[in-house]
């Protein structure tokens, strides 16, 4: 079985690490898996991941910058992450593509998948698997729609483009719907994003399967709390609340909730915050004295110490495709507080491995924190034990790779259901 994994991101990003972990598990299981795309240089040869050469990437990058520049001249400032199909790499001309039995688009965005690639996919006779890691495959150009649901009706009059009379986004939606082709099958990494895909104009007539994201568990194990706090310079005898995101000030990541909570607990002497990610000073200024910020963490050992040091982890994101940090914290034996109407509902068992709070309601999140604070320490620790048990096998790369192998074999046998 030859599988080509098409990747539009570096393998050291959040999505990239999940893709790499399952790819390595597939290789370990004997699957002839290969990665092609916008990955970083100097990867190990035995990873079988090839970066598209600079001479192929450079003209695509320039034309896409010009395209977005023209959009901004017409519509004004456009948020990062918005990009309709415009110009992309000709990945379908690669030897890896020609040799594959299955083409698996693992992470898709405009600068990787151009019109020529879509035309090739539309003609494809082999199975083409699309993993839905965000909403871009079924929107008019955004990776996350926020409160906008225009993707349900076909986009157009996009709020990101001023809400005026434009057809760029509706044309993009129509283009995607037309070019997926009969051999395309879709796998969402959570039931939450599957529900959104099933409502969309592009994919409402398609079957949307769900195979969760994978989380590399090798470094994610509980560390003695006293040792973890000592290593991180955190107070030993306070109630420690952890939280983190790539960009803490991102509204989608629950910035308003975090800002309120940091201010609510600013003068609480028995509480200490442990926060990782960019944007802490932008989120709250001045940063409370009872808050330790670690910035962006790429060291898995330190990340595991942060999760382990906490009594509870707060995941305030309003919109996620999966929520990897939820699983990571639980794997380190820490109960998590998340929001309903997000993938946290699929990961957290309310009242057993953590708590689910009303979507967007900071008071509900605070109430969950206070519930945890009021618990006897042994009972709270048992929550952490249950949290680890709930995720350690379910989301491991080996478990997810096994599900994909079964899925690939079914597709090759002609069964798309």
Q: Is the pLDDT of residue 416 over 70?
A: no
Classify residue 331 by its DSSP letter.
H
First CA to last CA distance, the chain: 20
Alpha carbon 16 to chain centroid, angstroms: 9
* Paired residues of 274 in beta bridges: 242, 292
Per-residue pLDDT, averaged over 309-330, amounts to 96
Which sequence spans correspond to the domains of the chain?
2-214+397-412, 225-391
Q: Which CATH number fits domain 225-391: 3.40.50.2000, 3.90.79.10, 3.20.20.70, 2.60.120.10?
A: 3.40.50.2000
Question: For the segment 231-240, what is each residue's pLDDT rounded down to a tens digit?
Answer: 999 999 999 9
Give the residue among 254, 222, 244, 396 at the shortest CA–CA distance from 325: 244
How far is it, in rounded angstroms, from Cα 88 to Cα 74? 22
Assign domain 2-214+397-412 to a CATH class.
alpha beta
Same CATH topology for 2-214+397-412 and 225-391: the answer is: yes
Tokens 């990541």 -> residue: 253
Q: Is the Cβ–Cβ distance between 45 and 35 less than 8 Å?
A: no
Classify residue 53 by its DSSP letter.
P
Kind plus residue range of the DSSP H or E element containing 129: strand 128-132
Q: Which SS3 state, helix, strand or coil, does residue 17 take?
A: helix
Q: Is the pLDDT of residue 415 over 80?
A: no
Looking at residue 417, its pLDDT comes to: 61
Distances (CA, A) of 388 to 13, 326, 349, 368, 381: 23, 11, 12, 19, 11
Q: What percent of the chain has pLDDT over 90?
A: 92
Kind plus residue range of the DSSP H or E element containing 370: helix 362-374
**∠ Cα 262 263 268 (to 5°):** 85
The mean of the pLDDT values for the chain is: 95
In the chain, count H helices and then E strands. 15, 13
Tokens 């990494």 -> residue: 189
Question: For the segment 208-227, what is each residue's pLDDT rounded down to a tens digit?
Answer: 999 999 998 887 899 999 99
Per-residue pLDDT, averaged over 324-349, amounts to 97
Q: Which SS3 state, helix, strand or coil, does residue 240 take?
A: strand
For residue 88 the two structure tokens come to 């992309």
Give the residue among 263, 359, 265 at the shortest CA–CA distance from 320: 359
Q: Is the pLDDT of residue 278 over 70?
A: yes
């Amino acid at each position: 079985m030859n599988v080509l994994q098409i990747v539009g991101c570096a393998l050291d990003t959040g999505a990239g690490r999940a893709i790499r972990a399952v790819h390595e598990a597939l290789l370990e299981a004997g699957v002839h898996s290969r990665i092609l795309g916008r990955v970083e240089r100097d990867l190990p040869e035995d990873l079988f991941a090839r970066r598209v050469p600079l001479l192929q990437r450079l003209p695509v990058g320039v034309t896409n910058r010009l395209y977005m520049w023209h959009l901004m001249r017409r519509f004004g400032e456009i948020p990062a992450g918005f990009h309709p199909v415009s110009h992309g790499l000709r990945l379908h001309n690669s030897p890896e593509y020609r040799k594959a039995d299955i083409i698996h688009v693992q992470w898709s965005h405009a600068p990787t998948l151009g019109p020529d690639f879509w035309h090739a996919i539309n003609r494809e006779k082999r199975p083409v698997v699309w993993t839905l890691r965000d909403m871009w495959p079924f929107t008019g150009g955004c990776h996350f729609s926020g409160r906008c649901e225009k993707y349900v009706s076909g986009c157009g009059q996009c709020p990101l483009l001023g809400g005026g009379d434009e057809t760029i986004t509706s044309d993009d939606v129509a283009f995607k719907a037309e070019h997926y082709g009969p051999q395309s099958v879709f796998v969402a990494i959570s039931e939450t994003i599957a529900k959104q895909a099933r409502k969309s104009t592009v994919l409402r007539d398609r079957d949307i399967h769900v195979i969760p994201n994978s989380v590399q568990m090798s470094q994610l194990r509980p560390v003695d709390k006293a040792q973890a706090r000592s290593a991180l310079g955190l107070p030993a005898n306070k109630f420690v609340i952890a939280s983190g995101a790539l960009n803490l000030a991102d509204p989608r990541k629950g910035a308003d909730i975090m800002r309120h909570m940091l201010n609510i607990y600013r003068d609480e002497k028995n509480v200490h915050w442990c926060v990782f990610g960019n944007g802490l000073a932008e989120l709250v200024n001045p940063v409370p004295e009872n808050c330790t910020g670690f910035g962006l963490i790429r060291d898995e050992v330190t990340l595991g110490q942060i999760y382990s040091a906490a009594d509870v982890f707060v995941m305030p994101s309003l919109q996620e495709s999966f929520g990897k940090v939820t699983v990571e914290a639980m794997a380190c034996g820490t109960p998590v507080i998340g929001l309903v109407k997000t993938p946290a509902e699929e990961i957290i068992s309310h009242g057993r491995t953590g708590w689910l709070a009303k979507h967007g309601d900071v008071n509900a999140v605070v109430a969950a924190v206070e519930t945890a604070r009021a618990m006897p320490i042994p009972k709270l620790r048992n929550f952490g034990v249950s949290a680890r048990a709930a995720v350690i096998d379910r989301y491991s790369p080996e478990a997810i790779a096994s599900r994909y192998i079964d899925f690939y074999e079914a597709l090759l046998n002609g069964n798309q259901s």
